[in-house]
Amino acid sequence: MSLNLFKIQIPEHKLHPNFKNVLNDPDLVKVLEKWSKGFVDRDNKIAKQFQETFNSTFWEIYLYACLDKLNFRFDFEHHAPDFCISKNGHEYVVEAVSTSNPKNFTPEHEKLKYLEKQNRKYFFQSDQEEMHEEVLSLATERISNSLRSKYSYYLENYQHLSHVKNKPFVLAIGAFEQPLFYTQKSGAISRVLYGLKSAKYGVNDQPELNYGDTTLKHNGAEIDIGLFNDDRYEYLSAVIFNPIATIGKVRAFQTKKLKYLTYDTVRYNDFGPETIKEYGIPHRKYHESLLDGMYVLINPFAKYPINPDLFDDIDVTVCFNAEDVRIKHRFLYARNVWNVGFDNSQEDTLQ
């Protein structure tokens, strides 16, 4: 039976703001229906979750579309984990998880409220260092929390299942913990997994990397980082991450182009230390692939390693550690979508 994400299953007052925005836009609906084609709802509740909480299901559908694009085959026979996949004789299990805002913090869909509260405006240029560090700090905390929780759940509930045992376990983390989540690039996930606190180019364009073993949460508590720097998480083989898996990506795929939408992008430059920045790209001229912005981050201490070549794509970056990175020219680091017109009726709440 085909998956119907948009047949309303809950009272209107419970509908998530992001879902209501998508529901009112037939072009977005068409793209998401295409991405979810072939997805099997084994517990018959994913549509309800999509309508009520949105982000976790949005991430799961996007992940499914990406794995399909990479030519993995799916086995939906088992109830859990989320995906049992195979390719070229390799079998993996993949669990999706999404970050969310801490209690009393502004949720991701209230971007304008957040900026007003901060009494400052956020521009795409990277010179907003203080604000960017705030984004990275909260993202680091929430990604770490989600990873630890899911890893514990794997050890307690999945590890010894017959279809999971002795197979690489991959955690796919969607970041939705704050209004500016889409600006974090790989900064937070690199802190969590490899302990990389900062990276910049110094004298003679040589990279200057700053590592650490711990960082502070917003409440002052200390947490460990660099979780892939030893064998503490040996049963977690890799992490899939994409901070720009947003409605802005869905917009890029829609057939009808909107004259009041423009895109700003930051891309990797393989020929120098400066990134490639492009501003004000009209919607009708903008192109973005499904996989653009995706990272596959390897655990070098994994008991059951993955084959990174199975994820090879021009738009996918594979990190073997913080310094050994397989990245291709014009990889999409970051993207912002601007509504430059006066029609706010379809304004995106996810960038």
Task: Please write the tens of the pLDDT for every residue from 209-223.
Answer: 899 999 998 888 999
Amino acid at 75: D
Count of C-beta atoms within a 10 Å radius of residue 32: 21
Least Cα distance to 120 among 197, 39, 179 occurs for 179
pLDDT in tens, 126-179: 446 778 888 999 999 999 999 999 999 999 999 999 999 999 999 999 999 998
Given a cut of 80, is residue 64 above it in pLDDT? yes
Contact between 337 and 261 (Cβ < 8 Å): yes
Task: List CB contacts of 247: < 8 A, sequence separation 6 or more.
Answer: 18, 21, 22, 28, 348, 349, 350, 351
Alpha helices by DSSP H, listed for 166-246, are: 187-194
Q: What is the mean pLDDT of residues 266-278?
A: 95
pLDDT band at 200 (very low <50, low <70, confident <90, very high): confident
Q: Where are the beta strands (DSSP E) in 163-293?
A: 169-174, 196-201, 207-211, 214-216, 222-224, 238-241, 261-267, 276-282
Given a cut of 60, is residue 123 above it in pLDDT? no
pLDDT at 110: 79
Given a cut of 70, is residue 252 above it in pLDDT? yes
pLDDT at 344: 44
Q: How far apart are CA 13 and CA 91, in angstroms?
A: 42
